[in-house]
Amino acid sequence: MTIEVRAASVFDDVRSMVGPKRPDANVCWCLSYRIPSKENLALHGTARGERVRELCREDPPPGVLAYDGDEVVGWAGVHPRADTGFARNRKIPHVDELDVWSIWCIRVRPGHRGTGISHELVAGAVAFAREHGAPAIEAYPVDNRGDKVDLTMAYVGTRALFERAGFTKAADTDSVLNGFPRVLMRLDLR
C-alpha cells in the first residue's frame, strides 16, 4: 500500500470522509473547529455540506486527504489557528504569538485503520502547513498513556501519535475528552 497525502480541494473526496450518508443530516462535517461557533450552530442539513464545498475552493483548503491509489482513505483537518475555533478557545492556551497552524481532526476510513494512515496524515498535514509558510504547527490530542480511546473521540489523535511525528508537549490544556486530558503538542517548522 502506497499512501499519498494531498490538499483537500476535491469536495466529493472530502464528503466521502466527513460527510453524512444523508445530505440533509446535521453531522459535524469537521466544521466545529474550523468556523466560528455561531456560524457552525446556524448551519443545518445541506447548508453544512455547501459550506464545506466553499472551504474546499479556498486557498488553502480545509485540510488534507490520504489516498491509496484512487481511493480516499483518510482526512486531517489542518489550517492556520487564526482561522479556527482554537484562536478563541479558552481551554487551549496560546504558547506565544506565532501564526501557528492547527491539526484538529484525523479520520481513517474503516477497513484501513491500524495500517499507519494516521501517521501519513500527520506527516502530510505538517508538509501542507510548511508549504504554506507556517512557522509551527500544533495539535491538541489526548494524553491517554496507552489506554484505549473510544473510537468516536479518537479524532483528536493521541500524544504518542504526535510524538512519533516529532512534536513535543508545549503546554497542558484545560480540555478533557473521553476522560483524558488534552495536551498541546507542537512542532517548529522554521
Mean pLDDT confidence for 79-102: 96
Per-residue pLDDT tens for 106-126? 999 999 999 999 999 999 999
Q: Which amino acid is at 41?
A: L
Per-residue pLDDT tens for 24-61? 888 889 999 999 999 999 999 999 999 999 999 999 99
Q: Which pLDDT score, from 0 to 100, does residue 143 have? A: 97
Mean pLDDT for the chain overall:
95
Q: Which pLDDT score, from 0 to 100, does residue 30 have? A: 94
pLDDT cut 70: percent of the chain above it: 100
Radius of gyration of the chain (CA): 15
Quote the CA–CA distance of 123 and 21 in Å, as a whole number: 29
Any idea which residue has 504569538 for its cell?
97
Q: Does position 1 have pLDDT exceeding 80, yes or no? A: no
Per-residue pLDDT tens for 149-169? 998 889 999 999 999 999 999
Any idea which residue has 508549504 for its cell?
131
Q: Does position 130 have pLDDT exceeding 90, yes or no? A: yes
Q: Coil, helix or strand for 76?
A: strand
